[in-house]
Chain A
Amino acid sequence: MQASDRFNINSQLEHLQAKYVGTGHADLNRFEWAVNIQRDSYASYIGHYPLLAYFAIAENESIGRERYNFMQGIQTLHLTGELSVQLSPDCVYNHACVVYVWFGIAHI
């Protein structure tokens, strides 16, 4: 990196992006990305009332039940399966750690 662009916005961009949960990076694996997708999806379902209503009709459940289920889905995302992928040993990204801690996995 040249001295000139050490302080410009581009170099900070990635850092800025990493502050948000759900953003990715070059070392993200399939599982982590999928978790993000799932979480975003659940959040989106809950956020859009018509979608909830639609699911409720399709599943013959009440809307409140649907919302509850999705909420549980977000909370228990990490329980849907074991962590099937070995963590890469070079996991030095803060962001990844944040995600793992968020999932309650302490052994990192």
Chain B
Amino acid sequence: MASVDPEIAKTQEERKKMEQQLASLTSLTFDTDLYGGNDRDAYVSSIPVTDDDENLDAMDNEVARKLASYTAPKSLMKEMPRGSEDDGDLGFKKSQKIIDREDPYRLRRLNRVISPDRNDPFASGEKTPDPSVRTYGDVMREEALKREKEETLRLIAKKKKEEEEAAKEAAEKGVPVPAAQPQKRRNRWDQSQDDDGVAKKAKTTTTSTSDWDLPDTTPGRWDATPTPGRLGDATPSLARRNRWDETPTPGRIADSDATPAGAVTPGATPAGMTWDATPKLAGMATPTPKKQRSRWDETPAAMGSATPMAGATPAAAYTPGVTPVGGVELATPTPGAINLRGSITPEQYNLLRWEKDIEERNRPLTDEELDAMFPQEGYKILEPPASYVPIRTPARKLLATPTPMGTPLYAIPEENRGQQFDVPKEAPGGLPFMKPEDYQYFGALLNEEDEEELSPDEQKERKIMKLLLKVKNGTPPQRKTALRQLTDKAREFGAGPLFNRILPLLMQPTLEDQERHLLVKVIDRVLYKLDELVRPYVHKILVVIEPLLIDEDYYARVEGREIISNLSKAAGLATMIAAMRPDIDNIDEYVRNTTARAFSVVASALGIPALLPFLKAVCQSKKSWQARHTGIKIVQQIAILIGCAVLPHLRSLVEIIEHGLNDENQKVRTITALSLAALAEAAAPYGIESFDSVLKPLWKGIRSHRGKVLAAFLKAIGFIIPLMDAIYASYYTKEVMVILIREFQSPDEEMKKIVLKVVKQCVSTEGVEADYIRNDILPDFFKNFWVRRMALDRRNYKQLVETTVEIANKVGVADIVGRVVEDLKDESEPYRRMVMETIEKVVANLGSSDIDARLEELLIDGILYAFQEQTSDDANVMLNGFGAVVNSLGQRVKPYLPQICGTIKWRLNNKSAKVRQQAADLISRIAVVMTQCQEDQLMGHLGVVLYEYLGEEYPEVLGSILGALKAIVNVIGMMKMTPPIKDLLPRLTPILKNRHEKVQENCIDLVGRIADRGAEFVPAREWMRICFELLEMLKAHKKGIRRATVNTFGYIAKAIGPQDVLATLLNNLKVQERQNRVCTTVAIAIVAETCSPFTVLPALMNEYRVPELNVQNGVLKSLSFLFEYIGEMGKDYIYAVTPLLEDALMDRDLVHRQTAASAVKHMALGVAGLGCEDALIHLLNYVWPNIFETSPHVINAVMEAIEGMRVALGAAIVLNYCLQGLFHPARKVREVYWKIYNSLYIGAQDALVAAYPTLEDEHNNVYSRPELMMFV
């Protein structure tokens, strides 16, 4: 290797030389004397507008690389996370699919059917709707039928269960009953009869469980049709799975011509026979005997597809539960071109793809390939030895992974090496890449049919598909144009074709967030255009959009709301109600839940008053409790959604739901109470009078109810009490407190949380007195809640701390702290932490004047114990608590300080880094108190200890130690500091090199403080050394560090005089690295600002004479910053720097002119109105010729300089410069001049009126402005 390197270098050298020669022949040559020849190549030709956009990598920097640093180089740190990202590309990328992050409840969205279009009574007017169209009545009848069926099935199930129990009882008595066979096989038909199974399922859903909802919550009891996204489907293992699951929805209804016989793989069983043979029996409650898989099932689906579902469209609504997604619309076949994929799920397809890929890479090399790889000469092809026999044993062949795409029988594999399996079939006509999941929707596009032969409708469909595909998978520009076309032609395409294409896409199980966002965007735009045409499709759209309302992603929820809001504005209230009414008492809780949310959006879009009559009717529905439940839930959702805007309608909303408190159904009572809670929360602190009517039932209710209902009632009360006047609040609190105290003992977690919350709400109201709390609440409260168990659950913990703090606000510090202080020595650490957090908050809120001597002793003792005993290092709770208590006690802590300091010192020496860090942090928190206690000597001692630990190697700890030192220095001053500053600072200089942010920040703060207050303690030479180090810090990432550094420069320059610092800085302008130079220029400007410009300018301007590009640019940039910082002070220096700027503005180098122009800008803005117009006009004359520059940075700077001139000189003068070019014969010139004119006009339109030229009149147009000629 070593011998090769110089060779390469030599070749490169030569090549460069040759290029240079060529360049000198073909283009202009530079003045090498001035520009220093070659190194100009390394410079950037223009300066970006922002300064922090490049070259931040420490490893790029010569100086940084030499530094000894405690942390890993940034480049390495940056590399690491990247590496793991790359891994993701290997096929293990985290799935982006929405379906993968949804819980079972949310997955139920896939159970819904995109219902057929409905009749639009507005459009059809008076005439009776066509019988083929579904009307509101039809839908309602279907729903009723469904409910009835559900009811019957439930009864059957119940009866069965009873029989079973009876049988079991009999069995227990010793009579063997053959009917009670244990069910070994997993059979979903039976699941609902299995009590345990049901309960388990129900628990996983977020809904509350009652007998009523159970049938709904077991996914897939009645919806025997597989939901496409069921997670189980993702695994390709076929063993022991119910055949119902395997059928992938998309390809299930395979078109007969799409799946030719023999093409179907054995892996994906469409199971056409069994499935299609008994489609209508799906709702049957009796378990179908599980058949052994027969060979018939594996035959290609030709038979199955002979009975296509196409004719079953109307029946779809009658099948109980759910037809497969898209089943109706998606009868569109998978095209022949990709016939094989039709019956494979995307997951399986992916698996195949990988398999193929691996095979492809591992195949043996052919002779041709070997020829291509090796050089022609020097190699010889050997004959295989005579004894060689290639392995052709069948067993070996069998071991090779079979391609599932092949036939199951053995066939001689065809050699096709040219095939590239991972590249999909090219989509024609510049269409974007199609994912395998997309084939079923967009497959038709791959058929290279002649567009002319298609009917207009088909052409339209095709067009829509193309546009949608572009929106879904295309590049941003493609997407943009496609979206625009879809929007513009929305009415032309018509609502039907559009939604029939878009909505199934949204139900696609493999949809990703981004795709969903785009499709939703399409719907939004299209809605806006279609307006009332959208009416028949409202329900379809809702089916697809409603799930967005409960998505966990905030933006999805907002998007969903926006769409529904726009939809209701387009379709109108009547249509919305007609579309959603049948869903209100749907048997599926999921549907009711999403419908309620959707209704609340409608209410907020169209106004609550419009919806009130309907809501009233629904909430009083006699027919079904579900309707009442949903109606009341709508009210709750309205309150949550629109917040305090419910106030005007509060009374009517409460009236609508109040009767629900006495409803016969317990779920209705619960939701009513929750709705009241939501209303009260939204209305706070107003509107108590609206709740008058519910107070009595609520307070009566809490005496008669138990369990969940009681919890809901309590919650409502908790939110209503804070709205009351003091007297009433006190009365009602006492009423409810009895129950609350009783429920303190409840083992139910949910109840505990609610009780705590209500106690907090009650206690914080005005009318509740401290004595009452102290005597009636506290004993039970502490007995039941302040137990170790509460500290284990995060939510309980938080709620308990909050409530206790709230109580403390009423009863004072001493009571609460006195009760818990003993627990600081409890043996459970989480519990100690909870106690500490409470004490911290209480003491921080209320101070510690109530704490008497005894308690104080206990407290400090406990805190010290808890602080020392902590083992987990996750939280700062102990530290914060310690700091808060000590700071609050102030001088009273003096007797304990030696002990505390002893602890700190001991812990500073601890093995664990976290402990050391915490000890140092504690010092910085209590430093102020220590001076208050006149413990300067102790602090000096701590200072020395810390000083000794400056060799700390953990950066986090080192940062804390520096912070502690800073705190000590701050309070005891430079004079009394031990170790003395002159010893301390030299020790800090090397630490400045540390790259860790926390270390840097604390160190620069400390150094800056010393430079500010105690610069004289340190020799100038040391300060100079620090200056060098500081230069590096000017490019820190964190703004705080950069600012502190720049300030420190100022302090140092002030302390030791600007000359030396300036010399360092000016020298630094010569370095190569751009970032460094930029920082230096800033520092120069700062020095100029702190030490007056006249101390800096001469040297700076002298530096401009150095014939080096970098230096000159640096000087100009410094000038620019300088004039920016000194502002008005600049008026004394303009005349001094004008010659320099003249020169720079005439320089050949673009960057010179650019930087000079920005200096001129700052100068002009600084001295506006201070009488420097002569110099400015002079400079403007030099700036003006640059207006034709094209480099963006240069032209930007020039335009800004001209703007600055407008401010300083007035618009009229600049206008006069403009006038010469506004009507110039050359268009290029005119364009530039009009641009300047326009910014002038926008900046100072009024001022221009007086300065416009007088135009001559022509014909009968009067251009002159006679008014301005008037003279009195």
A residues in contact (CB < 8 Å) with B: 4-5, 8-10, 13-14, 17, 20, 22-26, 28, 30-31, 33-34, 37-38, 40-41, 44-45, 47, 54-55, 57-59, 80-82, 84
Contacts and interface: CB of A to CB of B under 8 A. Distances in A.
Contacts of A82: 1259-1260
A25 B1272 CA distance: 38
A22 B1240 CA distance: 11
B1245 A22 contact: yes
A-B residue pairs, 4 tightest by C-beta: A81-B1261, A17-B1238, A26-B1230, A58-B1270
Interface in B1230-1272: 1230-1231, 1234-1235, 1237-1239, 1241-1242, 1245-1246, 1248-1249, 1252, 1255, 1258-1263, 1265, 1267-1268, 1270-1272
Contacts of B1237: 23-24
A78 to B, nearest CB: 10
A24 B1234 contact: yes
Given A8-B1192, A10-B1192, 13 more contacts: A14-B1238, A17-B1235, A20-B1238, A23-B1242, A24-B1234, A33-B1222, A34-B1261, A37-B1249, A37-B1252, A45-B1267, A55-B1267, A81-B1261, A82-B1260
B1241 A22 contact: yes
B706 interface: no
Interface of chain B, helix or strand or loop or mixed? helix
A84 B1258 contact: yes
Interface in B354-391: none
Contact of B1195 (A10, A22, A37, A44): A10
A14 B1272 CA distance: 42
Given A38-B1265, A84-B1258, A17 B1270 contact: no
A37 B1267 CA distance: 13
Contact of B1242 (A10, A17, A26, A31): A17
Nearest to B1262: A80
A9 B1196 contact: yes
A34 B1263 contact: yes
Given A24-B1238, A25-B1234, A47 B1259 contact: no
Contact of A14 (B1230, B1235, B1245): B1235
Nearest to A48: B1246
A40 B1246 CA distance: 7
B1227 interface: yes
A26 B1231 contact: yes
Contacts of A9: 1196
B1259 A84 contact: yes
A86 B1259 CA distance: 14
Contact of B1234 (A20, A28, A81): A28
A47 B1246 CA distance: 9
Contact of A57 (B1196, B1223, B1252, B1272): B1272
A31 B1196 contact: no
Nearest to A13: B1235
Nearest to A59: B1270
A64 to B, nearest CB: 16
Contacts of B1246: 40, 44, 47
9 contacts: A10-B1192, A13-B1235, A13-B1239, A23-B1238, A23-B1242, A24-B1234, A24-B1241, A26-B1231, A34-B1261
B110 to A, nearest CB: 41
B999 to A, nearest CB: 38
Contacts of A45: 1267
Given A30-B1255, A34-B1255, A37-B1252, A80 B1261 contact: yes
A60 to B, nearest CB: 11
B671 to A, nearest CB: 52
Contacts of A10: 1192, 1195-1196
A24 B1232 CA distance: 11
Interface string B954-969: 0000000000000000
Contacts of B1248: 40
Contacts of B1249: 37, 40-41, 44
Contacts of B1271: 58
B1211 to A, nearest CB: 12
Contacts of A24: 1222, 1234, 1237-1238, 1241
A28 to B, nearest CB: 7
A41 B1251 CA distance: 10
A5 B1262 CA distance: 43
A23 B1239 CA distance: 8
Contacts of B1258: 30, 84
Given A20-B1242, A45-B1267, A81 B1255 contact: no
A68 to B, nearest CB: 14
Contacts of B1252: 37, 41
Contact of B1192 (A4, A14, A17, A28): A4
A54 B1234 CA distance: 33
A71 to B, nearest CB: 14
Nearest to A5: B1192
A69 to B, nearest CB: 10
A41 B1235 contact: no
B1261 A26 contact: no
Nearest to B1268: A41
Given A10-B1192, A20-B1242, A31 B1227 contact: no
Nearest to A73: B1267
Contacts of A25: 1231, 1234
